Chain A
Amino acid sequence: MQSRRPKIRPPRKSLTAALDFPSIWSTLSQSILQILNQNAGSLSFEELYRKGYNIVLKKHGGILYESIGGVISGYLEGCYTKLINVEEEGDGQVLDRVIQLWRDFEISMKLISDVFLYLDKVYTRENHLLLVYDHGVTLFRDLIIKRDQGKIGNLINEKILDLITANRAKGAMIDFFKIKEVMMMYLSLEETDENGVLIGETYYTLFFERYYLDRSGSFYEGLAGEQFQLGNGRAYLKWVEGVLLDEENKMSLYLNAETCEKLRMLMSRICIVSKIDQVLRFPQESLRDWVHLRKEEELTLLYRLLSRAGYFDGLLVQIDEIIKDEEGLKSPSLDGQGKEKVKISQVSTVFVTQVIALKDKYDQILRYLSTDANVQKTIETSFTSVLNPAAAAAATSRLSEFLSYYIDEFIKKSKDSNDTEISAFLDNAIVIFRFIKDKDVFEKFYKNHLAKRLLKAQSEKDDDLERMLIDRFRNEIGSTFTAKLEGMFKDIHLSRELSAKFNHKNLHVSVLTKTFWPIQPTETSSLINLPSVLEDLQSQFTQYYTNCFNGRNIQWVYNFGTVDIRVKFTKKLHELNCSIYCGVIILLFQEFEQITYKELKQVTQIPEAELKRALLSLSVAQRTRVLLKSPMSKEFQDDDVFKFNYNFTAPLTKVKILTVITKQDTDATRSETLKETETDRKYEVDAMIVRVMKSNKTLSHRELIEEIIKLSAKRFEPSVGFIKKRVEMLIEREYLRRDETDSKVYHYLA
């Protein structure tokens, strides 16, 4: 069977018939005008659509597109003329009229665009033209808003800003929704480039926003200036916050998010950034008062405003200044006023307490400032720099000493302290410790004090607090700092065991590792002649010790030892507790009736300074005059004579003979300690340089200096000059050499 090919019916006749464009267009243009005049009710969408469709099908899209534009242009020109005429007659309603015109036009364009959907679909897109709707909108832009150098646009902008200004200045009631409607219109009016392509900017972004920000800026500039003139910091901040909040509430009613942000920035700049530094320095109600009076409200407000502006530099500078002016952070003078003696231990406690109080104050202020990390850093740096004045300054920092004395004072009296006091003490000590730049200096002072305390301590129990403190130090900067201190504890612990094993009830020996302790045997100590009683004990122990620990060498240091001597005086039996030197002198009177100073020196071989000190305690100090000195004076001459005072009396059986410490002595110890630190630093820096160079082989001068400063930061701050000197020393000793060509480069010599 043969298949029959079906006949395909051709489409309707109308599609093939010729097109009478002028007659179709005359209907269409009439209809477009009807639509533009809000009068489309009688029109058939289908009919118009079909007409447009047929025209496009017959390839007349181009002429149709242009003709539509032409009709719309004509309509808009008429509107423009009407607007201008009415306005020139003093109508004053241009804002409302334009809004109404735009409302209607927008709806009409939507209809027109629907009717010519097929044109857009087939012709417009293919020819990269604006869609009918967009085309209409650009015509509105050019023929209404921007016509005659933007006459209408400028008029509207001005009216809007007049309204807004009236509202800002006097709180006048205005219709924000009306303004919002204009903004929406402006945002719809997209800008095109010379080829008629949309560029993603609108009349709003390119024209209105700039004008708006200009006028808002100059308005607030003026207002902020007036408030500034009042010269009251608190009032100014309050005003700024009020104005910002007010504007914040209003701006979102009519502005788009981007402009809101720009306005916020603008206002922050005008009201906060450009003025706040001066405001904070106002003579009344400003930062200094708020800090000193700990004003929470003002400080939190200030912080809110500054975070809004993202500007903190000025605040940081001024906080630094205020801290640097705190008198309480300046090292107190030790000279004392008048004749009153100043005890460093007291001064230290007062000073440390004072610094802690100030730290608390600024911690509180920091909390008011939202615990801002930069503020915190500034406070810490400022404290550190006030508490550690540059070495060149007249008063070198005594912070290390003060802290060490503070600790010493507290621990000595800690028997009655409760847990709260102890934990406060530990916290305080660490706070101050953090502020110390030259931790090595502190280490020296602290070690001296610790050594004395440990040697005096009776039992393990006394060490608890010491250990807690050292734990805190270790947590703070690591175990290298505390290693030697821990060694000291170990020595004391072992010594107690050893003394117990030696089992001589009258002798307690502390065996100290030389490198851990600040106490060093001197050459003279071996020359001192001990009374036979003591000498026997000493040699017994030495023998016992060398038996226990083969190969160890024991050297004796008397400075910190004490002896108890029972003496029968005329009136009563007393037990004298005194230093070994004093003991040596007292025991001499078993042999001598009287003795001269010169003889004392020869017989005992005690170094003169120590001898003088012992004699001061024994013969000059009022309460413990066990010896009679003639002539009676504080000076010692070779032929001064000493006799035993059998008539000595004291209220208690036990008498403690304190070793007199003169100011010269303390000063000498102090400068010695500082000198030691200096020497230690040389070693430390040398070691660091060698270590760094060994691992790097070759480094430039700058790199090396940076590295050393970084490494030593935890313990002290060496000056560049100091490091340079050490480098030169190391070059001399052939650990390093300079590069032949570049003298700024060092090489490590293996």
Chain B
Amino acid sequence: MPSKYIKLITHDKHQFIISRDSANVSQTIKAMLETSMFKESSTNKIQLEENALIMNKICEYFYYNLKYNSNNDEDGDIPEFEIPTEMALELLVASDYFNC
């Protein structure tokens, strides 16, 4: 029985508990959770190498994407996703890894 929430553990031992739906915004995480037989799919925990700071922003993006992507046929008022300039490069790399 897949749980509704999953746990992401950062390199610096922070834990992010987010909804499965939002985590699935990342194709990479989606594959990890869905491909049974691996550790992740049974524990619903994923050990990542990112640090908490960047992970926070990534999770924020997951929710942002989930919210505005799923009901995009409503009015076109989608607020811009704010990216602090100093994080730009790190996020770029992360988006490549997470495939989102």
Contacts and interface: CB of A to CB of B under 8 A. Distances in A.
Closest 7 CB pairs of A and B: A45-B38, A6-B85, A45-B32, A40-B37, A11-B93, A114-B35, A44-B39
A53 B26 CA distance: 15
Interface string A2-37: 000011111110110000000000000000000100
A50 B87 CA distance: 21
B90 A111 contact: no
Given A41-B39, A47-B47, A6 B89 contact: no
27 contacts: A8-B85, A8-B88, A9-B86, A9-B90, A10-B89, A10-B90, A11-B90, A11-B93, A12-B49, A12-B51, A12-B90, A12-B93, A14-B49, A35-B37, A40-B37, A41-B42, A44-B38, A45-B32, A45-B41, A47-B47, A49-B28, A50-B49, A114-B35, A117-B27, A117-B28, A117-B31, A121-B99
Interface of B is mostly: helix
A726 B89 CA distance: 100
A91 interface: no
B48 interface: yes
B97 interface: yes
A49 B35 CA distance: 12
Nearest to A47: B47
B49 A114 contact: no
A46 interface: yes
A49 B32 contact: yes
B87 to A, nearest CB: 7
B35 A9 contact: no
Interface string B15-35: 000000000000110011001
Interface of A: 6-12, 14-15, 35, 40-47, 49-50, 53, 110-111, 114, 117-118, 121
Given A41-B37, A46-B40, A8 B28 contact: no
Interface in B23-77: 27-28, 31-32, 35, 37-42, 46-51
Given A8-B88, A9-B86, A46 B37 contact: no
B73 to A, nearest CB: 29
Contacts of B48: 46
A71 B7 CA distance: 33
Range of interface residues on B (Cβ < 8 Å): 20 to 34
A11 B90 CA distance: 5
Contacts of B32: 45-46, 49
A47 B49 CA distance: 9
Contacts of B50: 12
Given A14-B49, A41-B37, A41-B39, 7 more contacts: A8-B87, A8-B89, A10-B89, A10-B90, A44-B39, A45-B38, A45-B41
Contact of A111 (B28, B37, B42): B37
Contacts of A11: 89-90, 93
A441 to B, nearest CB: 81
Nearest to A46: B46
Contact of B31 (A15, A41, A45): A45
Contacts of A42: 39
Contacts of B97: 50, 53
Contacts of B49: 12, 14, 50
Contacts of A10: 89-90
Given A53-B97, A114-B31, A43 B85 contact: no
Contacts of A114: 31, 35
A15 B40 CA distance: 24
A43 B28 contact: no
A8 B54 CA distance: 13
B37 A15 contact: no
B2 to A, nearest CB: 15
A43 B89 contact: no
